[in-house]
Structure 1
Amino acid sequence: MLQVITDNKQGGVFDISEIVTGATWKTSRIGKPGSVDLTILQDANYMVSNGDIIALKWDDVPLFYGYVFTIGRSEADTLTIKAYDQIRYLAATDTYVFKNKTAAAIVKQIADDFGLKWGHVVDTKYKIPSMVEDGQKLLDIIDKAFALTTINTGSIYVFYDDYGKLAVQNVKDRVLELVIGDGSLMTDFTYQQSIDSDTYNRIKLVRDNKKSGKRDVYIAQDSNNIAKWGRLQYYQQVDDNQNEAQIKALLDQLSKLKNRETKSLKITALGDPTVRVGSYLKIEIGELAIDQLFLIEECSHNFAGDDYTVQIELKVV
């Protein structure tokens, strides 16, 4: 059963579960705050204001903790409410200069600077040599730090709001004990293989050489895939302090990450509160010869009366 609790921050705590007619909780692994959209019956005993706290649970399992940002009214005697988790406050822009800081340390520093709460933040280990971000959105800065960490280490991390506290985890530690597919929760699917979004078969890295006054160029390419797909080039200028061994290691890492098709899968299934973005989920679909783990990129939990369904966007990594 869905439980919806609100708090007006002035001592007024209300359980509005009985007047909620529909709810959707959406999360994304990269670039967006978690959000909740509620439709509720208007009730003379309940008033809602922007900034109020909204908390959702399913059978006492914590799902969402956030803040009201939009209230809508209509002649149909219903209210619509949109709330976001703490990550919404990272839409602010500012300027930061980081040197030799991990993505985890960057998260903590920005959170502390903006009065946000953080909880379980694992050590992401890789120290980013330099990041100069002038007038950038805070969430973009954080996402860039995690992207640089993945490019240089191969490790993928998820940054999310864990029921009111910012959190960071390595996705390898988030494997769900759940199988979705043939005969197990799934009601529909769509599948796509693509070389259009994040596939590169030629990696080109350049470094400004202060000693020679020239630009050093490092290239790794897959001739077979170039013949098959055409040349798809990834270009990056690396820090001039990186040595040749570090650059070659980066070339190798980028080749492993980028020189392949991206495979995405969208599934509609019966609801399960353990399904979260940044987690690995076992998928079994005989028609596609799929029996493997996928990483959850986006997720939408939908509640209407006693009906609970989930829409999941996944990819192979």
Structure 2
Amino acid sequence: MLEILIDNRNGKVWNITSLVPSLTYKTKRIGSASSLDLTFIRGSLFQSASFEVNNGDVITVRNDNLDIFYGYVFEISSGKDESVSIKAYDQIRYLLMNDTYVFKDVTASQIVKQIADDFELKTGLLADTEYKIPKMVEDNQKLLDIICKALDLTLIHKGGNFMLLDDFGKISVRNIQDMKVDFVIGDYSLLYDYGLKRSIDGDTYNKIKIYQDNKETGKRDIHIEQDSANMAKWGRLQLYKQADEKMNEAQIREQLSQLMTLKNRESRSISIDAIGDLRVRAGSYVPVIIKELDINQYFLVDECTHKFDADSHTMKLELRVI
């Protein structure tokens, strides 16, 4: 059974479960905090006269023994009628501010830990991301973008595919291989609708150019790898980026090869509408079986939206192949 609590942070904790007719819980794998949108009825028969909700209040959602959401109220909307809408975000919302950092020979998880400590954010399990980033200079950059860049560099250099998430009030880093669910979504399990999309309009590149400023010659060295066949089919889709000054030519060539493997392909995504299961969130690794599309494999959940309305619980998943 769903339980929704609001902590006014003054010693008062309110159980508002019976006051909430609808709720939406959304998670994204990259670049966004988890969000909770709910509506409650003001002045209900079951509501205490002293009940109140303010920005900054802590809101938690649990389902039986499963911890779902721990976040903070950021927006309260009301009108002439008796409904009040609340929007809350988890701790990752506090990573949307800018600052300047210089890192040297550190892992992505160490970067997460330092930023979280500097901004007094609670941390949980921080998986060992292993790959040591030689150098990162980030001037007036969004904290979340800095962390995402570190995780991207880890993936590019074969350090594994990790994601940042808030685990019920604790910022964590996990390997997606450790986020597999133990049930199938598909033709005979939960699914009731789907859509398929193939695209080159997002993160697809068939020509990679990496430049490095050569201090000895005073010139800029350019390293290129491209797929002429795909360029003929799709047109030129170029990624242009800077190499770390300490990288040698062999390391740059290796990075070019890895980027081509990751980027030189169509992105294939599937959207699924299904009966809700709160064990699924963005970052989950789920097995999907859809015979009509000849699909029987694991997909990574990029976005997950759970909706509760009266006695109904559904979820919409945006999936992609990795």
Separation in structure 2 between the aligned mates of residue 240 and residue 90 of structure 1, nearest angstrom = 28
Alpha-carbon shift at residue 226 of structure 1 (Å): 2.2
2:203 to 198, 207, 216: 198
Would you say 1:67 and 2:72 are equivalent positions? yes
Out of 260, 274, 282, the position equivalent to 1:277 is 282
For residues 64 and 236 of structure 1, what CA distance do their matches in structure 2 show? 37
1:104 counterpart letter in structure 2: S
> Are 2:127 and 2:173, in contact at CA under 8 Å, matched by a contact in 1?
yes
CA-based RMSD: 1.4
Which residue of 275, 285, 295 maps to 2:300?
Answer: 295
Residue identity matched to 1:286: K
CA distance, structure 1, for counterparts of residue 93 and residue 216 of structure 2: 45
Preserved contact between residue 4 and residue 55 of structure 1 (Cα < 8 Å): yes
Alignment of 1:1-317 (within 5 A): 1-43=1-43, 44-45=47-48, 46-153=51-158, 155-317=160-322
The offset of 1:212, in angstroms, is 3.1
* SS of equivalent residue, structure 1 residue 176: coil
The answer for unaligned runs of 5 or more in structure 1 is none
| C-alpha contact 2:130 2:159 (8 A) present in aligned 1 | no
Deviations 1:158-181 (A, max 9, x none): 100000000000112211112111
Structure 2: where are the runs of 5+ without partners? none
* Distance in structure 1 (CA, Å) of the matches to 2:240 and 2:97: 29
TM-score by length of 1: 0.96
In structure 2, how many angstroms separate the alpha carbons of the residues matched to 1:187 and 1:65? 29
Q: Following TM superposition, by how much is the alpha carbon of 1:211 offset from its aligned partner in structure 2, in angstroms?
A: 2.7
> Separation in 2 of the partners of 1:290 and 1:11?
52
Alpha-carbon offset, residue 124 of structure 1: 1.0
2 CA distance for matches of 1:179 and 1:81? 33
Aligned residues of 2:131 and 2:159 also touching (Cα < 8 A): no
Residue 270 of structure 1 aligns with an amino acid whose one-letter code is I
State the alpha-carbon separation in 2 of the partners of residues 71 and 212 from structure 1: 59
Q: Return the alpha-carbon distance in structure 1 between the equivalents of residues 217 and 315 of structure 2.
A: 57
Structure 2 residue matching 1:178: 3-state secondary structure: coil
CA contact (8 A) 1:154 1:253 kept: no
The one-letter amino acid of 1:6's match is I
The offset of 1:233, in angstroms, is 1.9
Show CA shifts across 1:7-33 (max 9, x none): 111111121111111111111111111
Matched positions, count:
317
Alpha-carbon offset, residue 152 of structure 1: 2.1
The percent of aligned pairs where both chains have the same amino acid is: 53
For the residues of structure 2 that align with 1:292 and 1:218, how far apart are their CA atoms?
36
Q: Give yes or no for contact 1:154–1:257 (8 Å, CA) kept in 2.
A: no
What is the TM-score with the length of structure 2 in the denominator? Answer: 0.95
